[in-house]
Chains A and B, each alone.
Chain A
């Protein structure tokens, strides 16, 4: 299967259920993990990717990702460091892995793209986001495997 636009991407993600949603969400988050240095997210992603992760493990992973998310907010009135802000959206992408419903993978994808957008703003680049193509490829590989 080949994915070339967001309509196909969203439709394909919408067909994934339960654990598969979580796993693909984790792959999207993992793709931007380098933008965050907090080691807690790596462990949370590993839990999200595992098919046999227990409820308690997932709850613990969610909590640690939540803590990173809150820690990495840019607070009101503070000078925004867009590189650091990218960390926040990586954490949000990880958090999306653990949210119930059939949009968690899409939400993780959007947060991952936002993390990449923050990196682009920090580097003074344009608004083109290469993460979109990366996500199409990740999903296609998963569906074709």
Chain B
């Protein structure tokens, strides 16, 4: 056994806690999780059954923590997990799992399969079986501060660009601001309209806000690759920035997993409660709407539909907020099939879009989204995750479907009453 494999197996053993043990022992092999996974439904290949993706972890559980398994191991009757096997499983654990959580939701015995995949990734990464794309992203996140290599000068350049575009000054490092706005690298690089939209909305709402030069990045590749130590460093950076600026609320941007990482996993990662609140931008906007601080005018002309980012609806319960916001600006709105908590993933979450080898499979999995969109007849697709947005655009382009994809925050900002 190599040293890295030994470490990986040790980590897997550590990962098997009480919930995990109960999940493995209560699985009834019903196969419902397969029907909930877009990689299985769109390929028909049983290897993409979510619970099957956990096979190496199940074997470690059985061999280490069950009586029969331990006896089998002592007598040399059970097959140990090998490097070759983990390498073979890499595409199942990373390329074909977006950690969307649909499988967890349908499991009749309540197994949180995403939680299990997340734990398996810890052992995979430590044993050297994580995809190159995610390894590179994680290194950049720790060393540079962004998984995509964005440095502060690039942020400042975008701030200046947005100031020119909107005529609104973008605040940086303002101590005592009410809100600290985070961005994903995707928004800094590809979607400057997000920051412009936030600036316009905050101005109209009369709220104080700031970016933080030491913590502008929201994403957390530690969560995606499955290394809690990295995830902790990245969360801590945000906590330090927020506490230094003494803000009341940190706003997670239009990015699905950043929200999960910061809001739901973050306090456990850093080992203490936050001194501030964490909200997704849609929760903040809906709060503004409820308080009468969002004054919009006019309606979108095109027929709209909404793609629910998995991490928002299934992990975070942010379901009605986007719909209430869309109701401000959409007269002709249509839901896809399975909207809200049962929405189908775009196919690129959980780090999949960073894995080049996964591209072909991702396009195959996108067929479910394609069908959903064709059924609606929608002319514009709105979403609230920058990664979903690009994955959707690529999928639509791949299948020659001419449907523009836009962010919800910028859609709202485009309808603000000017001068308010």
Contacts and interface: CB of A to CB of B under 8 A. Distances in A.
Nearest to B353: A76
Q: Which of B136, B154, B354 is most buried by chain A, counting CB atoms within 10 A of its CB?
A: B154
Nearest to B133: A77
Contacts of B326: none
30 contacts: A6-B167, A63-B402, A70-B394, A73-B190, A73-B393, A73-B394, A74-B186, A75-B354, A75-B390, A76-B147, A76-B148, A76-B186, A76-B219, A76-B387, A76-B390, A77-B136, A77-B224, A78-B354, A79-B140, A80-B149, A80-B150, A113-B161, A113-B164, A117-B157, A117-B160, A121-B154, A124-B153, A127-B156, A127-B160, A129-B160
Contacts of B192: 114
Contact of A66 (B137, B147, B190, B397): B397
Contacts of A63: 402
B196 to A, nearest CB: 9
Interface in A59-100: 63, 66-67, 70-71, 73-80, 82, 85, 88
A14 interface: no
A70 B137 contact: no
A132 B164 contact: yes
B189 interface: yes
- Could you say which interface size class chain B belongs to? 35 or more
B221 interface: yes
B189 A85 contact: yes
A74 B189 contact: yes
Interface string B122-156: 00000000000110110010000001111001101
Given A6-B164, A67-B397, A132-B164, A77 B189 contact: no
A12 to B, nearest CB: 16
A121 B146 CA distance: 15
B148 A74 contact: yes
B148 A77 contact: yes
B383 to A, nearest CB: 14
Given A110-B165, A121-B153, A80 B185 contact: yes
Nearest to B387: A76
Contacts of A121: 153-154, 157
Contacts of B219: 76
Secondary structure at the A interface, as helix, strand, loop or mixed, is helix
A88 B156 contact: no
Given A66-B397, A114-B192, A80 B158 contact: no
B113 interface: no
A77 B350 CA distance: 11
B231 interface: no
A124 B151 CA distance: 11
Contacts of A77: 133-134, 136-137, 147-148, 221, 224, 351, 353-354
Interface in B325-362: 348, 351, 353-354
Given A75-B354, A76-B386, A76-B390, A127 B157 contact: yes
